[in-house]
Structure 1
Amino acid sequence: MAQLLGAESIINVAGFGPPTLHALGARLASRLSSRVYNLAITNVPGPQQPLYVAGSRLLASYPVMPLTKNQAMSIGLTSYDGGVFVSVNADRDSVRDLADFVGCMRESLDELRQAARLVTGRVLRIIPSDDGPDEVSVS
Structure 2
Amino acid sequence: MKKVGHAYHKGVGPKVGMQTQRYKDKLKYAKKLSTSRSTSWTFGGSASVSWGIGKIEAKTDYNVTKKTTTGYTVTATLTIPKKSYGAIQPKARYQKFSIKRYISDEACHTRVLKNYGTMGAIVDPVDFRTCVSRRHCSP
Which structure is larger by alpha-carbon Rg, 1 or 2?
2
Larger strand share, 1 or 2: 2
TM range, normalised to the smaller chain?
A: under 0.3
